[in-house]
Chain A
């Protein structure tokens, strides 16, 4: 079993839809959970991160962590064509250690 599992998609939605992206993980020691967005032929860029369990909101984006289920989610409200990208979840178990990434989910938002 891989440490971080993420459905690669692809996921296609119409503009304005609510998008749900998810990852599961196996290491209960993970504490920091991040979402990166990667456009084609670009490096990943940080969208948002959360520490331990709970929710965090930033504009149209909401990140959720459920440590009891080892499950994290990213919700995108009112999706836009500019949101079309690959979304990578990443996590680590303590400050200072390198991030472990999921495979990434490719999202396409059509206008």
Chain B
């Protein structure tokens, strides 16, 4: 099966500019996640979607970050305006049926953001 697709792979912007990342999960996976991974850290959850509804966005900085998952498939994560501390890899992951046993997440390769 095709994996989780993300684009762009790399993005360099100046602070206060905006940026958007796109994710296409594995076909049939109902749940989609966005994680932020700062260099030297583990991934930190930003938002979890179940189909096109938000399950958990408690750690999303809503003053600058937004995410949507229209039609329960693709998702977009936007940052506006970006800050220096937003420099990180943004990982998208999906899972098939999180309610059935272990919630096995499959990750994309990530989108690496550098804010200057």
Contact = CB atoms under 8 A, between A and B. Distances in A.
Interface in B29-75: 31, 33, 35, 40-45, 48, 55-56
Interface string B1-45: 000100000000000000000000000000101010000111111
Interface in A1-21: 4, 6, 8
A103 B42 contact: yes
A98 B48 contact: yes
B100 A101 contact: no
B91 to A, nearest CB: 6
Nearest to B105: A99
B116 interface: no
B98 to A, nearest CB: 4
Contacts of B107: 36, 43-45
Interface of B: 4, 31, 33, 35, 40-45, 48, 55-56, 91, 93, 98-110, 112
7 contacts: A32-B101, A41-B109, A43-B109, A46-B105, A90-B42, A98-B48, A101-B44
